[in-house]
Structure 1
Amino acid sequence: MRTPNISEPNTSPQEKPAIELIEQDGQVTLSIGGEQAMQAWERDLMWASADLLCEYGKDFYEVGLGLGLSALRIAGNPATRSHTVLELFEEVEDLFRARHPHLPDNLTVERGDFFERIFELPSESFDGIFFDPALDMEVWTDAELWARVMPEVVRVLRPGGVFIPFFSTKPELRGQYLPHFRRIRVERHPFVAYDTTEYTHGGTTGDAFIQCFLKD
């Protein structure tokens, strides 16, 4: 699920959830609001998503820093000229910078709320967007919100650009994005999660699906 309880897209300082990095028994978990937001076993899936994104250009944007697995992979791709990551929570960025004090020159981490920032980004400014924020389930299921936001995502993408949300362990297309793209590329990858992982569908092993939505 990867849906920590942050309540709303715009989270005030008083409502900020507890954020911590838990390293125990060889497992690494980013916890937001007491729930598993991301775990290090996802590395290969995040790298596959990043590599797929980088096939489509040289300037990229990412929503949600997490453990920084995809951010570093995208910035490290020889094709990447610039990569900007938008992160809502200061604590998440601080944890990332503590583990990675020396970042690539082409990687920029910005603070902000995606549901505000997307309306401010210039049209046709990025070749690809990787989307992996920690959002409450009420946000994910808010049809009116996505109907407002997704046309802006398409606007920001250059022709031929792509929008890649985080992988799914359900073999179904993401309904929030589906109406806004005519072409979708899907890749299937096996995964093995931790035995403590709570957010995968159908168990801790199986197939994950990376969905790549292409702008005509």
Structure 2
Amino acid sequence: MEHSNGPTTAQAAAPDIELIEKDGEVTLSIGGEQAMQAWERDLMWASADLLCRHGQDFYEVGLGLGLSALRIARNPATRSHTVLELFGEVEELFRTANPVLPPSLSIERGDFFQRIKELPSESFDGMFFDPALDMEVWKDKELWARTVPEVVRVLRPGGVFIPFFSTKPELRWQYVDHFRRIHVERHAYQAYDTTEYTYGTSGNAYIQCFYKD
């Protein structure tokens, strides 16, 4: 999903978080903006399935509705799956909807840009990346230049990094300079008529998988 909402590491006040279910649509709202919607399920599952082809220990940034988290944790190949979530309210909504979780799934609380520096080197086979971040964070070239090498560091050789799908056929500049091999899958999608964070409400979505050599 193409987020333009969410916190920065310097943001002091926690945003309002709510789960909105209306007219057959399900939306996780953070700070008054659409952070995730239930129509994304098939794309999140496809991303999760691709991740699970590459090992058994996985890390995910951003819990959201938990669509990918449960898919990864329930995959027979998965030994462990850790999800990092910044907001307690998001975790509470997820646990209320899913009171019984797979034993392979654990949820941590914290800020990604701090936590990535603390994770051990070569500790995960794959990382799925789908946090809600402010647009200014996405545009911060120096921040990503410092951060993505840390992502590469925590991946095992042959491990993969999969960010959330894009509805623009462009490689994500934040990551592309740090990986030599990239796999892209094209999937059709149909969003809600009310969806605000995609380039159009139907068409092609692109899942990008970055490989650590």
Normalising by structure 1, we get a TM-score of 0.97
Q: For residues 145-191 of structure 1, give each alpha carbon's deviation from its aligned partner in whole angstroms, at most 9, with x where no partner exists.
A: 00110000000000000000000000000000001000000000000
* 2:56 corresponding residue in structure 1: 58
Give the whole-Å Cα distance in 2 for the aligned partners of 1:186 and 1:19: 32
**Residue from 32, 45, 48 that aligns with 2:46:** 48
**Residue from 147, 150, 154 that aligns with 2:148:** 150
Q: Which runs of 4+ in 1 moved over 6 A?
A: none
* 1:127 corresponding residue in structure 2: 125
Give the whole-Å Cα distance in 2 for the aligned partners of 1:11 and 1:130: 24
Equivalent pairs: percent with the same residue? 77
Residue 29 in structure 1 maps to residue 30 in structure 2: no
Q: Classify the secondary structure of the residue corresponding to 2:210.
A: strand
- The AA in structure 1 aligned to 2:77 is A
- The AA in structure 1 aligned to 2:161 is F
Give the whole-Å Cα distance in 2 for the aligned partners of 1:193 and 1:86: 26
* 1:196 corresponding residue in structure 2: 194
* 1:210 corresponding residue in structure 2: 207
Q: Classify the secondary structure of the residue corresponding to 2:42.
A: helix
After superposition, residues 55-94 of structure 1 pair within 5 angstroms as 55-94=53-92
* 1:9 corresponding residue in structure 2: 9
Q: Classify the secondary structure of the residue corresponding to 2:162.
A: strand
**Number of equivalent positions:** 212
Give the whole-Å Cα distance in 1 for the aligned partners of 2:146 and 2:190: 36
Q: Classify the secondary structure of the residue corresponding to 2:94.
A: helix
Give the whole-Å Cα distance in 2 for the aligned partners of 1:128 and 1:9: 24
What is the deviation of 1:106?
0.5
- The AA in structure 1 aligned to 2:125 is D
Q: Classify the secondary structure of the residue corresponding to 1:91.
A: helix
* C-alpha contact (below 8 Å) 2:3/2:135 kept by paired residues: no
* 1:139 corresponding residue in structure 2: 137
Q: For residues 14-36 of structure 1, give each alpha carbon's deviation from its aligned partner in whole angstroms, at most 9, with x where no partner exists.
A: x1110000000110000001000
Give the whole-Å Cα distance in 1 for the aligned partners of 2:10 and 2:84: 14
- The AA in structure 2 aligned to 1:97 is R
Give the whole-Å Cα distance in 1 for the aligned partners of 2:57 and 2:83: 11
User: CA distance change for structure 1 residues 161 and 10 in 2, over 3 Å: closer, same or farther?
Assistant: farther
What is the deviation of 1:3?
2.0
What is the deviation of 1:5?
4.2
- The AA in structure 2 aligned to 1:206 is G
- The AA in structure 2 aligned to 1:104 is P
Q: Classify the secondary structure of the residue corresponding to 1:102.
A: coil
What is the deviation of 1:47?
0.0
* C-alpha contact (below 8 Å) 1:124/1:159 kept by paired residues: yes
User: CA distance change for structure 1 residues 65 and 27 in 2, over 3 Å: closer, same or farther?
Assistant: same
